[in-house]
Amino acid sequence: MLIKFDFNNMMERTLGEKGFSDAQLNEIAPAAKTAFDRFAAKRGSGMTGWADLPYNQDDIVADIVATAARARKEFDNFVVLGIGGSALGPIAVFTALCHFRYNDLPAEKRGGPKFFVEDNVDPERMLALLDVVDVRRTLFNVVTKSGATSETMSQYLIISDILKKAIGDGWQKHIVATTSESKGNLIKLARKEGFKTFFIPDGVGGRFSELCPVGLFPAAMLGIDIAGLLKGAADIDKACSSSDMFRNSALMAAALQFLAMKGGKNISVMMPYADSLKFMADWYCQLWAESLGKAVDLDGNTVNAGQTPVKSLGVTDQHSQVQLYTEGPFDKVITIIGVEKFRGDVVIADGAEEFPDVNFLCGHTMGELINTERRATEYALTRSRHMNNTITLPEINAETVGQLLMFFQLQTAYCGEMLNVDTFNQPGVEEGKNATYALFERKGYEAKRAELDAAPAKLDKYII
Ligand code: PA5
């Protein structure tokens, strides 16, 4: 039951001169092997601790499962407060594996609390959340590795103040903190207040953290089989253990994107043909963008590397973006995610016998229709010579979702090696965080504030 990677439509056989030749693949194979070896040498050290997560969390999983089992009975609502890597994974996995109308189901059908992820500091959104949850019946999971991110810490401050006022003694039981064990402010606050804590290992960065407690605790709160997620991740990891890219799908996927980037394809479109995988594309966008979008390479050369990820949804965006993808510039690779067998299906009923243009649909299922449209889009893209590839899940379940997460993480790590960039840092994100601290006159950021003040003032003539 492994996911499959089909790159036929990246090749000259289907795309003519717009595709890659076998010779090009053979030429890039040694560089892919070097990337694999370099990553293998780092594995488990530095910021690659995420690669070991499928194998080294037995005790943590037991703690998460036990904590979630208790909390699922105790609370009506479960709210994740986090941003970026602390939010996109939980949203993607929730959407992939829970009922589409999860929060609207009656409590007995849901079997656990309603779920909310607050990954912005829009005041209207916070007010709206507070309109629909009773904090006395709510568990908040504050997730921040650095324990310093302004968005998450401000949410923490707002919520803890509300909890203290609403509950008084014992308010701390409404907070679970997921953070670094060794640094940051959240761990200090957690120790002072006695919050239940889960730890983000030092070698696991935000966007690579879905398979650690950042993602596993929310998943367990939703009744998702977290052992299945980790098993799926381990399965694809083992299936990708060859340094020969012709026998390692994630390495092949990385090498193809690397070649495409070299050929000027600056955009990577992620297009799942399944609503439940819609937010997998959001999660992928962060992973691909933050990991590969780098000004300098590991040798200090200015490279301005990266490929802009774009999210798209089949079939919905056939009616919005596919016109561009089939007829627009040859600057992108479209990755389609397909599902062989949906978890349920709906027959398209009879009722239009006298209208042949509609009647041809009758008796087919929606599953057939979405997959036929996926094939049709692949065909249209290929016919117009636009590079596309397809990842197929046999079905959507915890194991295949775990596979997908690990596949993209490995692809990203290999591609980062091929680009010779630091895949695991995010100086551009830090710059924005530091500028916020400076503008808020945080102590220690005086120099940054002076730098901001010295920047050219905006001119009225350019504001109309
Ligand atoms: O991938 C990353 O490291 C970032 O996107 C972080 O996830 C994001 O900035 C949130 O950081 P933190 O977990 O420290 O609050």
Asked if the structure places residue 347 within a domain, the reply is yes
| Inter-residue contact 144 to 82 (CB < 8 Å) | yes
Of the three residues 194, 227, 260, the one that is the final residue of a domain is: 227
Give tens-digit pLDDT for 227-268.
999 999 999 999 999 999 999 999 999 999 999 999 999 999
Report the largest interatomic distance among the alpha carbons of the chain, rounded to a whole angstrom: 76
Domain that residue 37 falls in: 4-43+230-419
| Inter-residue contact 430 to 258 (CB < 8 Å) | no
Asked if the structure places residue 448 within a domain, the reply is no
Structure tokens at 160: 């803890």
Is 196 in the same domain as 262?
no
Q: How far is the CA of 141 from the centre of ligand 1 (A)?
A: 15
Q: Measured between alpha carbons, how far is 325 from 385 in angstroms, rounded to an integer?
A: 10
Is 74 in the same domain as 221?
yes
Asked if the structure places residue 60 within a domain, the reply is yes
Of the three residues 193, 227, 261, the one that is the final residue of a domain is: 227
Task: Tell whether omega for the bond before 315 is within 30 degrees of 0, i.e. cis.
Answer: yes
Is 264 in the same domain as 195?
no
433 in active site:
yes
Q: Measured between alpha carbons, how far is 299 from 325 in angstroms, rounded to an integer?
A: 35
| Inter-residue contact 44 to 413 (CB < 8 Å) | no
Of the three residues 209, 227, 245, the one that is the final residue of a domain is: 227
Is 330 in the same domain as 186?
no
Asked if the structure places residue 349 within a domain, the reply is yes
Is 272 in the same domain as 378?
yes
Question: Which residue matches tokens 């510039």?
Answer: 329
Atom of ligand 1 nearest to the CA of 214: 13
> Where is 80: in which H helix or E strand?
strand 77-81
- What residue's CA is closest to ligand 1, atom 2? 206
Considering only CA atoms, which of 156, 151, 255 is closest in space to residue 206? Answer: 151
The secondary structure of 85-130, three-state, reads HHCHHHHHHHHHHCCCCHHHCCHHHHCCCEEEEECCCCHHHHHHHH
> Which stretches of 180-301 are assigned E, i.e. beta strand?
196-199, 267-272, 294-296
Is 138 in the same domain as 258?
no
List 108, 124, 192, 319, catalytic entry: 319
Q: Measured between alpha carbons, how far is 454 from 61 in angstroms, rounded to an integer?
A: 50
Is 396 in the same domain as 320?
yes
* Total domains, the chain: 2
Q: How many CB atoms lie within 10 A of CB 267?
A: 17
Structure tokens at 72: 């699922």
Asked if the structure places residue 426 within a domain, the reply is no
Instruction: List all residues 6 or more positions away from 211 whose beta carbon is below 8 Å from its beta carbon.
Output: 50, 53, 54, 229, 230, 233, 402, 405, 406
Asked if the structure places residue 414 within a domain, the reply is yes
List 290, 378, 399, 417, catalytic entry: 290
Is 323 in the same domain as 408?
yes
458 in active site:
no
Atom of ligand 1 nearest to the CA of 433: 9
Q: How far is the CA of 329 from the centre of ligand 1 (A)?
A: 33
Neighbouring-strand partners of residue 334: 269, 388
- What residue's CA is closest to ligand 1, atom 3? 206
- Kindly report the CATH number assigned to the domain that includes residue 121: 3.40.50.10490
Q: How far is the CA of 436 from the centre of ligand 1 (A)?
A: 15
Provide, for the chain, the percentages of residues in helix, strand and coil under a 3-state DSSP scheme, each rounded to the nearest 5.
55, 15, 30
- What residue's CA is closest to ligand 1, atom 8? 84
Is 155 in the same domain as 299?
no
Is 21 in the same domain as 78?
no
Is 83 in the same domain as 35?
no
Pocket mutation for ligand 1, best pick of 285, 429, 430, 433 (most atoms within 8 Å of C-beta): 429
Asked if the structure places residue 24 within a domain, the reply is yes
Provide the residue-wise pLDDT of the chain in tens; the chain has 464 residues. 899 999 999 999 999 999 999 999 999 999 999 999 999 999 989 999 999 999 999 999 999 999 999 999 999 999 999 999 999 999 999 999 999 999 999 999 999 999 999 999 999 999 999 999 999 999 999 999 999 899 999 999 999 999 999 999 999 999 999 999 999 999 999 999 999 999 999 999 999 999 999 999 999 999 999 999 999 999 999 999 999 999 999 999 999 999 999 999 999 999 999 999 999 999 999 999 999 999 999 999 999 999 999 999 999 999 999 999 999 999 999 999 999 999 999 999 999 999 999 999 999 999 999 999 999 999 999 999 999 999 999 999 999 999 999 999 999 999 999 999 999 999 998 888 899 999 999 999 999 999 999 999 999 999 99
Is 361 in the same domain as 409?
yes
| Inter-residue contact 7 to 256 (CB < 8 Å) | yes
Asked if the structure places residue 463 within a domain, the reply is no
Pocket mutation for ligand 1, best pick of 83, 143, 186, 189 (most atoms within 8 Å of C-beta): 83
Structure tokens at 209: 């953290």
Ligand 1 site, CB within 6 A: 83-86, 144-146, 149, 152, 205-207, 290, 426, 429
Query: Phi-psi category of 177—alpha, beta or left, where left has phi over 0 and alpha has psi -120 to 50?
Result: beta
364 in active site:
no
Considering only CA atoms, which of 21, 65, 50, 10 is closest in space to residue 334? Answer: 10
Atom of ligand 1 nearest to the CA of 83: 10
